[in-house]
Amino acid sequence: MKNRRVVLAAHVTGLPKESDFAIDTVDQPPPSEGEVLVRNHFVSVDPGMRGRLSGETSYAPPVPLGGVVGSATVGRVIASRNAAFAEGDWVAGAFGWQELGLTNGRGIRQIPEGPIPPSAQIGVLGIPGLTAYFGLLDIGRPQPGETVLVSTAAGAVGSATGQIAKIKGARAVGIAGGPAKCRWLTDELGFDAAIDRLAEPDIAAAVARECPNGVDVFFDNVGNSLVDPIMPLMRLHGRIVVSGQTADYNLGANERVGLKNTRAFITHRLKMQGLVVFDYVADFPTAWAELTGWIVDGRLRYREDVVEGLEALPAAFVGLFWGENFGRKLARLTH
């Protein structure tokens, strides 16, 4: 059996390019005793992966040259010699950008039968939805009536964050690129306001306009270039949740914008805190149950942005850093 994979062809410097990736084909041995072989139906395309592609140490080990690019995956068991898994089971895992995945049973979990499509397990019920859930509720802790500002609000994390803020009784304001995304936030997801960053020459002025009482929680996925202008607009005891730093991943330490409006830490008693969602793994079942309930109730909606086939992955990843995605970016590898 053959396994086609997208591997790292060159360490990424600056903005990723399609030529940083290559596709290869390797032999896939059948499962040994205790092992499970999975065919991946969907794989995710995550900006957070950028940190592992430069060869530098991040919170996760770097991907070596020739290594498979990591991602969340969802698929079906095609052969099992492990009693816990049967052929045909749907499982979520993290096999990365490849058609097949082999495991001794670790790193995959069975997807419960239910009304929610399997692809959601690596979107609104996967790392993005869990990041929104724990980042907002454990660090941001919005109170009813407070204002929650969310960047990359039409992305998988941001769109869930704003909706959870609404569920908790807060006012949700999103920043997104372009009128279509902004309309989706306000008209479909119930955000109270959306700021089109492509139409606003002065993002701080736009945020001040849409958040006239200031910002209690800023949930950011962009990085310093956006956090710095927002800092003076934070309310007393405001919380900045560092969920992602998409714009900073591609920049060396000397190229990055520095945070200069740091006087607000004292004047506004700010808290700024980062998270990696895997720290909350013991609480994932609680989050899954609550998120699933909100989806079933229609209070938490999501959008998938699906490209077809392994070949489409490098361009889809590059596009993330150009603001091209609208919802959870996935590739479908098989029907």
Quote the least distance from Cβ 48 to a second copy, whole Å.
9
Amino acid at 217: V
Cβ neighbours of residue 187 closer than 8 Å, sequence gap 6 or more: none
Q: Closest CB to a second copy among 162 and 223? A: 223
Under DSSP, is residue 79 helix (H, G, I), strand (E, B) or coil?
strand
Q: Closest CB to a second copy among 109 and 263? A: 263
Quote the least distance from Cβ 155 to a second copy, whole Å.
16
Cβ neighbours of residue 30 closer than 8 Å, sequence gap 6 or more: 1, 37, 79
Contact (Cβ atoms closer than 8 angstroms) between residue 157 and residue 243: yes
Question: Using CA atoms, how far apart are residues 163 and 93, in angstroms rounded to an integer?
Answer: 26
Q: Closest CB to a second copy among 176 and 240? A: 240
Q: Closest CB to a second copy among 28 and 225? A: 225
Quote the least distance from Cβ 233 to a second copy, whole Å.
14
Q: Closest CB to a second copy among 102 and 275? A: 275
Quote the least distance from Cβ 221 to a second copy, whole Å.
11
Return the bridge partners of 36, or none.
80, 103
Quote the least distance from Cβ 228 to a second copy, whole Å.
8
Question: Using CA atoms, how far apart are residues 231 and 149, in angstroms rounded to an integer?
Answer: 12
Sign of CA dihedral 80, 91, 23, 13: negative
Q: Closest CB to a second copy among 19 and 262? A: 262
Q: What is the DSSP string of 307-331?
A: EESGGGHHHHHHHHTTT---BEEEE
Quote the least distance from Cβ 277 to a second copy, whole Å.
11
Q: Angle 317-321-327 (CA atoms, 0-180°, nearest 5)?
A: 70
- Nearest one of 280, 272, 265, 281 to 242, comparing CA atoms: 272
Q: Closest CB to a second copy among 48 and 129? A: 48
- Nearest one of 131, 140, 199, 200 to 165, comparing CA atoms: 140
Classify burial at 200, counting beta carbons within 10 Å of its beta carbon; exposed 0-12, middle 13-18, buried 19 or more: middle
Q: Which residues bind a second copy (CB under 8 A)?
A: 51, 58-59, 223-224, 227-228, 242, 244-245, 248, 253-254, 256-276, 279
Quote the least distance from Cβ 223 to a second copy, whole Å.
7
